[in-house]
Amino acid sequence: MKRRDMLQAGLATGAVLAAPSMPALAQAKGPIRIGELNSYKSQPAFLEPYKKGMDLAVEEINAAGGVNGRKIELITRDDGANPGDAVRVAEELISREKVDVLTGTFLSNIGLAITDFAKQRKVFFLASEPLTDKIVWQNGNRYTFRLRPSTYMQTAMMVPDAVKMNKKRWAVVYPNYEYGQSAVQSFKELMKKAQPNIEFIAEQAPPLGRIDAGAVTQALADAKPDAIFNVLFGADLAKFVREGNTRGLFKGREVVSLLTGEPEYIDPLKDETPEGWLVTGYPWYGIDTPDHKSFFIAYHTKYKDYPRLGSIVGYTSIKALAAGMKKAGGADTEKLIAAFKGLQFDTPFGKASFRASDHQCTMGAYVGRTTVRGGKGEMKDYRYLDGAKYLPSDEEVKKLRPAS
């Protein structure tokens, strides 16, 4: 062999030997960094289990080799329960921490602030928990997707049963910020459409976290409604229930109550839990599907505790991001947007997908009635409702959502 041929052969062999494997290339790129911000200090009941759910998902994904050979890394920050602080934190995550995507937020006003931030900075954002419809409709944009069923979806799930109550005079009570306003608007519109003779005769909208439960309860009692639609949660809900029980507000009245069946909010009520409220929630103690059993065992093994709905949301957010990144071949924003449109993935509640028309996930919710068992509040007569069946059509979405 000529000297030149030998040299070329040697260079070729060396190149082959030196070429890194695909996993090595992926590792050389470093981890995929997920930036997450939330109101941890102000909403610990939901967000402590939520963080545990995220950590479990990260652990499972990385133990299985990561996403396309790359590990994922979660960087979390508190948003101060303030939209201005949340935007500042999001900017720090992008600029200083060099995260590839954003996720999180709990309060709807903060979710909307980060939705707009994502649009301005052209960064992918998965809104995990905020429920206002505006995130995917009026304020929706191409960079933002939402995981949890919205206020519209959850109220739509409850309306058929509320109509069957055949009550004409309704009162509403809700925290006076974006989530509460959105939920009440959806309930009123859907109920008026299904039951044209309905009347809304009283409305109480205390500030979030600062309810004067005695005054609110008395005002509702004075109005003498046939039924009540409640959107309070957390400490506000507990105070409202205690005063309502004391003053007999709920006696002989139907109550439709958003989120009240979630362990975060029904557990603290204990034996004060009202009997028979129609609620959305998470009856973890009675779900025997294979997907949920697998999640429950993993969560309980790691934390020696039962999951809350926050656990489901945190876990599923990370799993959804991983599924999208796998499909996109990484965390490139434009490829990720394309991958998420129509993306189908597994959740502890079964398969779900993200609609291409409005970026809303089809994950559903459980609807049932409240009861007390063994001194604890629980759900009874519950059923899982597929979120895809409680969303407007793509044609209707076009009228609600700006072009993006």
Domain membership flag for residue 119: yes
The pLDDT of residue 5 is above 70: no
Mean pLDDT of 83-96: 98
CA-only gyration radius of the chain, Å: 24
The verdict on 193 and 321 lying in the same domain is no
Please give the share of the chain, as a percent, with pLDDT higher than 70.
93
The verdict on 225 and 245 lying in the same domain is yes
How many whole angstroms separate alpha carbon 228 and alpha carbon 202? 9
Domain membership flag for residue 317: yes
Mean pLDDT of 79-104: 97
Could you give the number of structural domains in the chain?
2
The pLDDT of residue 1 is above 80: no
Domain membership flag for residue 42: yes
Domain membership flag for residue 3: no
The verdict on 382 and 331 lying in the same domain is no
pLDDT for the residue numbered 3: 40
The verdict on 323 and 271 lying in the same domain is no
Domain limits for position 372:
152-286+366-390
Domain membership flag for residue 167: yes
Domain membership flag for residue 71: yes
Please give the share of the chain, as a percent, with pLDDT higher than 90.
92
pLDDT for the residue numbered 24: 42
The verdict on 36 and 118 lying in the same domain is yes
The verdict on 97 and 246 lying in the same domain is no
The pLDDT of residue 13 is above 50: no
The pLDDT of residue 11 is above 70: no
pLDDT for the residue numbered 16: 41
- Tens digit of each residue's pLDDT (9 = 90 or more) over 156-209: 999 999 999 999 999 999 999 999 999 999 999 999 999 999 999 999 999 999
The verdict on 30 and 66 lying in the same domain is yes
How many whole angstroms separate alpha carbon 176 and alpha carbon 192? 22
CATH number for the domain including 226?
3.40.50.2300
The verdict on 54 and 103 lying in the same domain is yes
The verdict on 309 and 338 lying in the same domain is yes
The pLDDT of residue 54 is above 50: yes
pLDDT for the residue numbered 403: 74
pLDDT for the residue numbered 404: 61
Mean pLDDT, the chain, as a whole number?
93
The verdict on 71 and 208 lying in the same domain is no
The verdict on 385 and 254 lying in the same domain is yes
How many whole angstroms separate alpha carbon 257 and alpha carbon 182? 14
Domain membership flag for residue 7: no
- Tens digit of each residue's pLDDT (9 = 90 or more) over 310-369: 999 999 999 999 999 999 999 999 999 999 999 999 999 999 999 999 999 999 999 999
The verdict on 132 and 279 lying in the same domain is no
Domain membership flag for residue 13: no
pLDDT for the residue numbered 40: 97
pLDDT for the residue numbered 390: 97
